[in-house]
């Protein structure tokens, strides 16, 4: 009985020993190949730690969890942002020049009369509150335009947007305070509310993706500049009778994912509601002024081809303008336009 038990113990041991010292070394080769195969996974693939939860066991062996989320990809280059002193100097000089130019213009138009004491007043009467749309649009445009400029100077996108909003609000507040000292105007809290909303709207678009398909735009009639430079009564930037402010909505905001993914709808085609006014003037009075409402097609420039950083920024700026498109005036009377400017 003891011999039988010893046989069961030593025979397997003998066979394993013989296999290890043989020329083929099959078991040893199997173990080595297995380890090499495990190492090759780490060598030939870039495993992102955020997508794979790995727990180290022994040696080069790992237990991978949540295998469905493995992401084997080449490392992405992270763009580094560093403020460029030369570009910041250029940006500051250009900004100071633009600010000085506008200040001189306003001093000879809106604020050309003798200064009065500071006061509050609602000044929407002369434009039937169309100026509120102007304040939203202008603050919105200044935020985006200056943020693009800050990013060009080497500042990160998030900080650029913040600095752009601060710049926009600072400038619009400067305008409103000066209105408060003008004898014919006043500091209007409604204007300030519109300024704040316009300045922070890009942050809303950034956080709530559907709002990226909702944009504020502006357009003007072809003879606007010519009529002002030839001696019009109202100043160039306050002539709302020759301007239209738009709220543009891309239908992609509500279309099913199946439609947008299959590209069954032209993603650059949007709809816009425009607001204009006629018979309005802060010089001769606005007793007969009427608000006009226009429904028009619109071109969503952001959806057009061009994926480079330069093209994205250029499209973002161009998308603030409503390019000519077919339209219909729906109030106070119906008028069809082949192209509305």
Residue 215 has a CB neighbour count (10 Å cut-off) of 25
Q: 98 in a domain, yes or no?
A: yes
Instruction: Kindly report the pTM of this predicted structure.
Output: 0.76
Tokens encoding 183: 């004898």
Identify whether the C-beta of residue 142 lies closer than 8 Å to the C-beta of residue 172: yes
Q: 192 in a domain, yes or no?
A: yes
Average pLDDT over every residue of 196-219: 96
Q: Residue 89 belongs to what domain range?
A: 85-340
Average pLDDT over every residue of 184-195: 92
Number of structural domains in the chain: 1
The pLDDT tens digits of the residues spanning 257-309 come to 888 888 889 999 999 999 999 888 766 667 788 999 999 999 999 999 999 99
pLDDT score of 109: 81
Q: 182 in a domain, yes or no?
A: yes
Burial 286-323 (b: 16+ CB within 10 A, else e): beebebbebebbbbbbbbeeeeeeeeebebbeebbebe
Q: 320 in a domain, yes or no?
A: yes
Identify whether the C-beta of residue 318 lies closer than 8 Å to the C-beta of residue 310: no
User: What does the alpha-carbon distance between residue 203 and residue 200 come to, in Å, rounded to a whole number?
Assistant: 5
Q: Phi/psi of residue 178, each to 5°? A: -65, -35
Q: 116 in a domain, yes or no?
A: yes
pLDDT score of 14: 40
Residue listed under structure tokens 């001093």: 107
pLDDT score of 31: 40
Q: 237 in a domain, yes or no?
A: yes
Q: 16 in a domain, yes or no?
A: no
Closest alpha carbon to 123 in 64, 67, 194, 52? 194
pLDDT score of 231: 61
pLDDT score of 288: 82
Identify whether the C-beta of residue 253 lies closer than 8 Å to the C-beta of residue 267: no
The pLDDT tens digits of the residues spanning 125-161 come to 778 889 999 999 999 999 999 999 999 999 999 999 9
The model's confidence at residue 96, banded by pLDDT at 50, 70 and 90, is very high
The pLDDT tens digits of the residues spanning 233-251 come to 667 777 888 999 999 999 9
pLDDT score of 99: 94
Q: Phi/psi of residue 250, each to 5°? A: -85, 125
The model's confidence at residue 66, banded by pLDDT at 50, 70 and 90, is very low
The pLDDT tens digits of the residues spanning 7-62 come to 444 444 444 444 444 444 443 444 434 344 444 444 433 434 444 344 343 444 43
The pLDDT tens digits of the residues spanning 159-174 come to 999 999 999 999 999 9
Q: 13 in a domain, yes or no?
A: no
């Amino acid at each position: 009985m003891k011999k039988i038990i010893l046989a069961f113990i030593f025979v397997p041991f003998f066979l394993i020993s013989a296999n290890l010292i043989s020329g083929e070394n099959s078991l040893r080769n199997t173990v080595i190949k297995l380890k090499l195969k495990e190492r090759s996974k780490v060598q030939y693939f870039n495993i992102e730690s955020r997508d794979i939860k790995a727990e180290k066991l022994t040696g080069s062996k790992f237990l991978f969890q949540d295998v469905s989320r493995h992401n084997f990809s080449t490392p992405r280059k992270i763009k580094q942002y560093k403020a460029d002193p030369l570009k910041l100097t250029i940006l500051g000089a250009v900004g100071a020049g633009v600010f000085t130019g506008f200040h001189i213009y306003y001093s000879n138009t809106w604020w050309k009369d003798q200064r009065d004491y500071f006061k509050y007043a609602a000044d929407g009467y002369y434009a039937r509150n169309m100026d509120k749309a102007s304040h939203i649009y202008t603050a919105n445009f200044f935020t985006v335009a200056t943020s693009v400029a800050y990013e060009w100077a080497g500042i990160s996108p998030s900080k650029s947007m913040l600095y752009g909003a601060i710049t926009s609000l600072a400038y619009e507040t400067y305008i409103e305070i000066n209105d408060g000292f003008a004898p014919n105007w006043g500091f209007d809290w409604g204007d300030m509310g519109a300024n704040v909303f316009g300045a922070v709207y890009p942050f809303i678009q950034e956080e709530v993706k559907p709002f990226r398909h909702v944009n504020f735009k502006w357009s003007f009639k072809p003879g606007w500049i010519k009529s002002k430079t030839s001696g019009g009564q109202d100043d160039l930037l306050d002539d709302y009778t020759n301007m239209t402010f738009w709220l543009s909505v891309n239908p992609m905001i509500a279309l099913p994912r199946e439609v947008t993914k299959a590209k069954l709808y032209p993603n650059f085609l949007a709809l816009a509601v425009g607001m204009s006014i006629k018979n309005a003037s802060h010089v001769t009075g606005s007793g007969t002024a009427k608000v006009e409402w226009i429904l028009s097609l619109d071109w969503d420039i952001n959806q057009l081809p061009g994926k480079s950083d330069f093209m994205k920024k250029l499209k973002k700026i161009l998308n603030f303008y409503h390019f000519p498109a077919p339209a219909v005036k729906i109030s106070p009377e119906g008028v069809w336009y082949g192209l509305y400017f």
